[in-house]
Structure 1
Amino acid sequence: MLDFLPSFPAFLLIFVRVTSFFLMMPLFSYRSIPAAHKIGLGFFLAWIMFLGMDVPMLEIDGTYFLLIIKEALVGLMVGFIAYLILSAIQIAGGFIDFQMGFAIANVIDPQTGAQSPLMGQYLYTIALFFLLTVNGHHLMLDGVFYSYDFIPLDQAWISFGDEDMAEYVIKALNTMFVIAFQMSIPVVGSLFLVDVALGIVARTVPQLNVFVVGLPLKIGVSFIVLIIVMSVLMYAVSLAFETMLQTMRGLMELMGGS
């Protein structure tokens, strides 16, 4: 115990970074997980990381409080970038809902407490199961552990105002919309063709009420196309996971000044 006391400030910094990751990172940040479980998981993970690292000896002074703020910001920022990339799946569902006619009905996401489109919630749930299947949560925990290779514990300053970091975050936001567009384009493109066909029918057969026929037709076509392209969507989801891990690594490199 006496040997541990000089290293306790370093352990506290590790604990702050890990729990900050859990506040924003997909899967670990959801409200359905009790706060006591998150804190307990963060504590034991920080303890395991502490035992496997060469930690510096730190003193609790004014600089130490800056280190605590820095650790919290690192965890929140990297976790937010991971969540930002995965939110592309919900945005893709929003694009599909808008064309299907489901945009008028949103559901409450029980994990985040925010409103979510119907198809977005459906695709996001499948994506989370896929993430667990390929052990993506293990890779995210690896990212937490290896973040100390890029951002050391005793590095007290991070240049959040750096032009490269701001450009990197903007590119990550752009990547999110590109992924969402790629995921939604099969269904949205098919529904556009259905709209064109309904427009032609409305001009040639004025007696037919296309508003009554169009909504169930578009819903049926959407589900048929979704079933056909589901494998392609899962490939796009795997690319989103790969992009998420690469973006986390790149952001940590910029934070570390490398």
Structure 2
Amino acid sequence: MLQPPAFNYDSGIPGLELAELLSYAVQYAFGMLRIGAFILSAPFFAARYIMLPVRIMMSVILTLPVVNSVPMPPVDQLVALTAVPMILTELTIGLAAGLVLSIIFGSASVAGDRIAATAGLGFAAQIDPASGTSVPVVSQLFSLFMLATFVAVDGHLIALNILIDSYTLLPPGGPMNAGPLLAAGKEAVSYMFNFSVQLMMPVVSVLLLVNVLIGVITRSAPQMNIFSFGFPMTLTMTVVLLFFGAPVLGKACEWVLGSSLELMEHMFREMANG
């Protein structure tokens, strides 16, 4: 009579124990906090037209090189109440990095809004797909131009590289110095107003001269209606200025992007040195 073969259950397929797998999952989720917070707050990544599952998958994939090269806190600390300050620290670092970029990116929107108000195009508004709010068309064009320049010069890859390098400068679970975060926020707001003035000033200054000229003409010839003469002239001059100023605007946007990425990297270095 045939006997069934004897199996050696001790020499099965190598694998992970459930407890060990859960510990890896907890450390992986902790390492994903900083990247996930950055993706939820940074320009281009936080746009409404990028679906939430896509952002989650981006966070999961970008965390792979981090957990393989940076040591994570022990699981005993991550499952205790002492992990709450560490979790808040990781979220704060990611959100601060994303908000610094978003604030400086707002300079394009502010510049477009002021140009639209000067040209009389403030009423021409539509829903911005990135923020979901109603903004002037010129402001939306400036924002899209900034995002297109950001992707064209690989600014999104540079920002992600700076963020991943921050795990080496600021190890997960370590203390955080909040001073550089506040300083970077104030500097980002200063950059936003400074860059917005520089972006809009060439167009606004010419439109101001055009409005003065229209005022002189309508004053000397009252039969020249400002709505039939001045408004079309202002719109035509605005389109011409934006068309011929597009190459210079691209260089200016690239300079703004470089300054924002430098500020983000400087913030991480100051936090590490402080």
Which structure 2 residue ranges, 5 or more long, are not aligned?
A: 1-15
The yes-or-no answer on 1:182 pairing with 2:201 is no
Query: In the aligned structure 1, how far is the partner of 2:54 from the partner of 2:184?
Result: 33
Residue of structure 1 in register with 2:176 after alignment: 158
Residue of 236, 240, 244 corresponding to 2:260: 244
Residue of structure 2 in register with 1:198 after alignment: 214
Give how far 1:91 is off: 0.7
The yes-or-no answer on 1:138 pairing with 2:154 is no
Give how far 1:8 is off: 4.2
Give me the TM-score of the superposition, normalised by structure 2.
0.86
| Rg larger in structure | 2
Give me the TM-score of the superposition, normalised by structure 1.
0.91
Give how far 1:24 is off: 0.6
Query: Match for 1:102: what amino acid?
Result: L
Residue of structure 1 in register with 2:97 after alignment: 78
Q: CA RMSD in A?
A: 1.9
The yes-or-no answer on 1:213 pairing with 2:232 is no
Query: In the aligned structure 2, how far is the partner of 1:194 from the partner of 1:176?
Result: 27
Residue of structure 1 in register with 2:65 after alignment: 48
Give how far 1:89 is off: 0.6
Residue of structure 1 in register with 2:52 after alignment: 35
Deviation per CA, 1:119-177, whole angstroms, max 9, x where unpaired? 1111221222222111111111102201113322121x4343x3x54343222101111
Q: Judging changes above 3 Å, is the alpha-carbon distance between structure 1 residues 36 and 165 closer, same or farther for their aligned structure 2 residues? A: closer
Q: Is the 8 A contact 1:7 1:57 kept in 2?
A: no
Query: Match for 1:91: what amino acid?
Result: V
Report SS of the residue matched to 2:135.
Answer: strand
Give how far 1:86 is off: 0.7
Q: Is the 8 A contact 1:7 1:56 kept in 2?
A: no
Query: In the aligned structure 1, how far is the partner of 2:55 from the partner of 2:185?
Result: 27
Deviation per CA, 1:200-237, whole angstroms, max 9, x where unpaired? 11221122112321111111001111111111111110
Query: Match for 1:123: what amino acid?
Result: F
Give how far 1:251 is off: 2.2
Give the stretch that moved more between structures: 184-193 or 208-217.
Answer: 208-217
Q: Judging changes above 3 Å, is the alpha-carbon distance between structure 1 residues 37 and 53 closer, same or farther for their aligned structure 2 residues? A: same
Percent of aligned positions that are identical:
25
* Count of paired positions: 255
